[in-house]
Amino acid sequence: MVVSHFISKAIPCFHILVWPIWGVLKEERNSIKMDQEQVEMVGRMFVDRYYQLFDNDRASVSLFYQPSSMLNFEGQKILGVDNISSKLNQLPFEKCRHDISTVDSQPSSTSTGSIVVFVSGSLQLVGEEHSLRFNQMFHLVPFGQESFFVQNDIFRLNYG
């Protein structure tokens, strides 16, 4: 299948990202095992795409979430794709730039094939002189045969 086919059908964006490498992961995933290199590759690809969309087309970030997804944003607990999308799109800034410092990924369950991704970096808001340091954790859960969605997302700014 062609990537443009996925885009035109509005399949979750992370599906688009994983598709080119899924042939490598699929056989391993059937036995619910991915080696650390594969886990790191999926985590990094997710992070690159997530923040690229957040910085340039924030409304599209909702495609990563499902009705069961949960976001903890600075201590505020938010449930469901619609509520998460609303929260992210109502942030008090339109444009920003995420500069990623580290991405750490590890398998979170050998029975489900899910992955935990921990990100640290800085967030530069347009018109602001100083950037804000942040940490974010994602729990990626397999969705169907060829994609992942964000089940859990925890975001915190680092003060001090």
Q: What is the pLDDT of residues 83-119, one digit of tens each?
A: 999 999 999 998 999 999 999 999 998 778 899 999 9
Please tell me the pTM assigned to this model. 0.82
Which three-class secondary structure state does DSSP give residue 122? strand
The CATH fold assigned to 36-157 is Nuclear Transport Factor 2; Chain: A, (3.10.450)
Average pLDDT, the chain: 83
Q: What is the pLDDT of residues 51-87, one digit of tens each?
A: 999 999 999 999 999 999 999 999 999 999 999 999 9
Q: Are 148 and 18 in contact, with CB atoms under 8 Å apart?
A: yes
Burial of residue 115 (number of CB atoms within 10 Å: 0-12, 13-18, 19+): buried
Domain map (residue ranges) of the chain: 36-157
